[in-house]
Amino acid sequence: MADYIDSILKENRVFYPSDEFSRKSYIKNMAQYSKLYKKSIENPEAFWAGIASHIEWFKKWDIVLRNDMGFFKWFEGGYLNACYNCLDRIVKSGRKDKIAYIWEPEKGESKTYTYGHLLKEVCRLANVLKNMGVQRGHVVEIYLPMIPELPIAMLACARIGAIHSVVFAGFSSDALKDRIQDSKAELLITADGSFRNDKVYPLKDNADAALKDCPTINKVIVVKRAGNKIRMAGGRDFWWHELVNEKGIADFCEPESLHAEESLFILYTSGTTGKPKGILHTQAGYLVFVYQTFKWIFDIKDNDIYFCTADIGWITGHSYIVYGPLANGATIIMYEGSPTFPEPDRFWRIVEKHKATIFYTAPTAIRALAKEGDEWPGKCNLSSLRLLGTVGEPINPEAWLWYHRLIGKSKCPIVDTWWQTETGGVLITPLPGATPLKPGSATKPFFGIVADVLREDGSKANVNEGGYLVIRNPWPGMLRTVWNNPDRYRHTYFEKFGVYLTGDTAKIDEDGYFWIMGRVDDVIKVAGHRIGSAEVESSLVSHKDVAEAAVVPFPHDIKGQAIYAFVVLKKGVKKNDALKEELKQHVAQHIGPIAKPDRIQFADDLPKTRSGKIMRRILKSIAEGSTDYGNIMTLAEPSVVEILAKNRVG
């Protein structure tokens, strides 16, 4: 992390939006930002109520915000439907034939869905779900690749008041099983297989393996995507296309009128300890927040074509491929496959083909594509682009500058958006027509957000002093709780300082700009994906040859961070490269390829305190190749440190 900060400090240039961009944007300059920001934090309830009036309510709220013993409630007394706001409201505003999704498959013809068409497809599936017994408040698990059926399934749930829990299709069966067991879903929607790099991944086989231990699921809907051979369990498994095309399934389904604080979705994410936690978002606050953040941060206009490369299996896809853009009536490009298939210019080809005007991706993708050479974007016509964005991890200035020059042709502002699964939407970000940009900084808080950096003792850090990033006030898009675990919600996010603890470290510079430095906990951001070290460790330990494992991040040129695993083998097991490979595959099969350690070091002993706690801080230094271990005299056996450092893999 130290290297990263050093490299940021070397880039001192500031980049301003063009006059033309500013003139046409919603927030045109910093004076306007400051004035509205001040208003928004002086009277947040009036501010958010004003914004909430832009979406449609079946019944208006009674009270904007209530703190119920540390659990925040927004717009209580209000009734609405998120799906109605994303589809019917847009259709009724005369945009029935406007394109909602342009779906670009990895191979083959792209397909478009107008708002009218999407509404019909969503209604048909909603009717199918109702026929299958899904009711308001039930949980539906969705394990689908980036195909149109994924947002259709989410919106169908939202329409009838079912709670969706999407599991990233890159996760394997164990990860799916854990999530289903925790959410207690009754129905699963999946596909036969998914495509990536022209290969077929057997989603349905993974699902079958998971379902052996998931008794709550009694029905499975299967999308035919890859055409691979699968087993359909009689009475349990049904083909999507047969169900929605059945006679008697109507094209319209009345949207449920849902209370503002009823659950909309659960999305699992990694934390410090144990299994992933189900982050719960509710109807109204979430929708209001993603609606407005999307509108102002992406400066969305009616003729924009917006391309976000995230997977809907993560929060970025939920908020900024589904709910935020649809609620704004935007046209969204959704891409199924790999950024390098068939060649490393695939994103740029998609931009060119569909004349995308806004492009939103992760720094990892930028670094990986920059490495392929300038000729790839150079061959494509990217002149349609007017705005770029990044999300998910800090962006190093080199990658920022490449993105700015090669993709944005030095004219597109870049919004470096900081946020989390828990925050629902973006909290710290530039506003593209207003904010002067410093490469590597997510700049300033969004309206209504009071962000701060604190020391260990809770006092405010000085200018440029690193500390805990916290949010001092509630906002509508914030998580409401951890599914089935309110204590974990309180403990993880509010215990330390009494205000929302993000888990990130940051500093604020002399201009009030936020610089995100990294995680304070045991979350590793591998290629922007959030992985818990505890999950990888328990997967390693589940291998028959492993006695103990400790997992830490190390800096990686492309992925930002990668996983370094220290593994203690059981007595008598031979240490060799074949076993290392086997362990990597083991993790890939259990959690998913994204959680695979890049480096494995066999160790006879791990650095532990006298009470037996593994000192990850020391292991992290070793993995980074640093000799700055801090105090090691508290260790039960200080000599292990030197031995581990000597045998470092790198």
The phi, psi pair for 338, rounded to 5°, reads -85, 145
- Specify whether the CB–CB gap between 497 and 467 falls below 8 A: no
Q: Which is nearer to ligand WTA, 101 or 314 (CB)?
A: 314
Minimum CB distance to ligand WTA, residue 267 (Å): 9
Q: Which is nearer to ligand WTA, 386 or 530 (CB)?
A: 530
SS3 371: helix
Residues 6+ positions from 107 with CB-CB distance below 8 Å: 195, 198, 337
Q: Which is nearer to ligand WTA, 217 or 428 (CB)?
A: 428
> Segment 42-101, which members bind ligand WTA (CB under 6 A)?
none
Minimum CB distance to ligand WTA, residue 361 (Å): 12
Minimum CB distance to ligand WTA, residue 395 (Å): 7
Please identify, among the stretches 94-102, 314-322, 344-352, 565-573, the one whose residues bind ligand WTA according to the rule CB under 6 A: 314-322
Among 176, 442, 550, 600, binds ligand WTA (CB under 6 A): 442
Q: Is 421 in the site for ligand WTA (CB under 6 A)?
A: yes
Q: Which is nearer to ligand WTA, 376 or 418 (CB)?
A: 418
Separation of alpha carbons 189 and 241, rounded Å: 12
- Specify whether the CB–CB gap between 16 and 30 falls below 8 A: no
- Specify whether the CB–CB gap between 519 and 555 falls below 8 A: no
Q: Which is nearer to ligand WTA, 8 or 128 (CB)?
A: 8
Tell me the β-bridge partners of 5: none
Minimum CB distance to ligand WTA, residue 401 (Å): 16
Q: Which is nearer to ligand WTA, 64 or 279 (CB)?
A: 279
Give the Cβ contact number of residue 420 at 10 Å: 20
- Specify whether the CB–CB gap between 407 and 359 falls below 8 A: yes
Among 183, 269, 309, 492, binds ligand WTA (CB under 6 A): 269
> Segment 492-521, which members bind ligand WTA (CB under 6 A)?
502-504, 516, 519
Is the backbone of residue 355 left (phi > 0), alpha (psi -120 to 50) or beta?
Answer: left
Give the Cβ contact number of residue 648 at 10 Å: 15
- Specify whether the CB–CB gap between 374 and 407 falls below 8 A: no
Angle at CA of residue 334, ends 391 and 152, nearest 5°: 110
- Specify whether the CB–CB gap between 432 and 21 falls below 8 A: yes
Please identify, among the stretches 56-64, 105-113, 139-147, 413-421, the one whose residues bind ligand WTA according to the rule CB under 6 A: 413-421
Minimum CB distance to ligand WTA, residue 518 (Å): 7
Three-state SS annotation for 91-138: HHHHHCCCEEEEEECCCCCCEEEEHHHHHHHHHHHHHHHHHCCCCCCC
Please identify, among the stretches 1-9, 140-148, 415-423, 550-558, the one whose residues bind ligand WTA according to the rule CB under 6 A: 415-423
Please identify, among the stretches 193-201, 249-257, 412-420, 557-565, the one whose residues bind ligand WTA according to the rule CB under 6 A: 412-420
Q: Which is nearer to ligand WTA, 417 or 435 (CB)?
A: 417
Minimum CB distance to ligand WTA, residue 519 (Å): 5
Minimum CB distance to ligand WTA, residue 425 (Å): 9
Q: Which is nearer to ligand WTA, 391 or 549 (CB)?
A: 391
- Cα dist from 42 to 26, 296, 341, 460, 601, whole Å: 21, 20, 49, 20, 53
Q: Which is nearer to ligand WTA, 418 or 602 (CB)?
A: 418
Q: Is 300 in the site for ligand WTA (CB under 6 A)?
A: no
Q: Which is nearer to ligand WTA, 223 or 290 (CB)?
A: 290
Amino acid type, 246: E
Structural tokens at position 488: 């974990």
Q: Which is nearer to ligand WTA, 161 or 425 (CB)?
A: 425
Helices 30-42, 44-52: axis angle to 10 degrees equals 110
Q: Is 311 in the site for ligand WTA (CB under 6 A)?
A: no
Half-sphere exposure of 443 (CA within 13 A, CB side): 27
Minimum CB distance to ligand WTA, residue 461 (Å): 18
Q: Are strands 237-239 and 258-259 parallel, antiparallel or unpaired?
A: unpaired
Structural tokens at position 451: 């962000």
Please identify, among the stretches 216-224, 308-316, 482-490, 576-584, the one whose residues bind ligand WTA according to the rule CB under 6 A: 308-316
Separation of alpha carbons 602 and 615, rounded Å: 17
Q: Are strands 305-308 and 331-335 parallel, antiparallel or unpaired?
A: parallel
Minimum CB distance to ligand WTA, residue 458 (Å): 20
Structural tokens at position 345: 């210019």
Please identify, among the stretches 51-59, 73-81, 283-291, 411-419, the one whose residues bind ligand WTA according to the rule CB under 6 A: 411-419
Minimum CB distance to ligand WTA, residue 501 (Å): 11
> Segment 354-393, which members bind ligand WTA (CB under 6 A)?
391-393
Residues 6+ positions from 365 with CB-CB distance below 8 Å: 309, 339, 347, 528
Instruction: Please classify residue 375 by burial: count the beta carbons closer than 10 Å to its beta carbon, then call 0-12 exposed, 13-18 middle and 19+ buried.
Output: exposed
Separation of alpha carbons 220 and 192, rounded Å: 11
Minimum CB distance to ligand WTA, residue 54 (Å): 24
Q: Is 417 in the site for ligand WTA (CB under 6 A)?
A: yes
Please identify, among the stretches 110-118, 220-228, 419-427, 485-493, the one whose residues bind ligand WTA according to the rule CB under 6 A: 419-427
- Cα dist from 405 to 9, 27, 180, 391, 442, whole Å: 20, 24, 44, 18, 19
Q: Is 318 in the site for ligand WTA (CB under 6 A)?
A: no
Separation of alpha carbons 175 and 250, rounded Å: 35
Structural tokens at position 562: 């990668």
Minimum CB distance to ligand WTA, residue 205 (Å): 27
Q: Which is nearer to ligand WTA, 406 or 427 (CB)?
A: 427
Minimum CB distance to ligand WTA, residue 386 (Å): 20
Minimum CB distance to ligand WTA, residue 390 (Å): 6
Question: DSSP code of 595?
Answer: G
Minimum CB distance to ligand WTA, residue 271 (Å): 10
Minimum CB distance to ligand WTA, residue 533 (Å): 14
Give the Cβ contact number of residue 461 at 10 Å: 19
Q: Which is nearer to ligand WTA, 327 or 526 (CB)?
A: 526
Chain centroid, CA 613 distance in Å? 31
Helices (H), 519-576: 533-541
Q: Which is nearer to ligand WTA, 80 or 427 (CB)?
A: 427
Among 530, 590, 596, 616, binds ligand WTA (CB under 6 A): 530
Size of the site for ligand WTA (CB under 6 A): 22
Q: What residue ranges bind ligand WTA (CB under 6 A)?
A: 269, 314-316, 391-394, 416-421, 442, 502-504, 516, 519, 525, 530
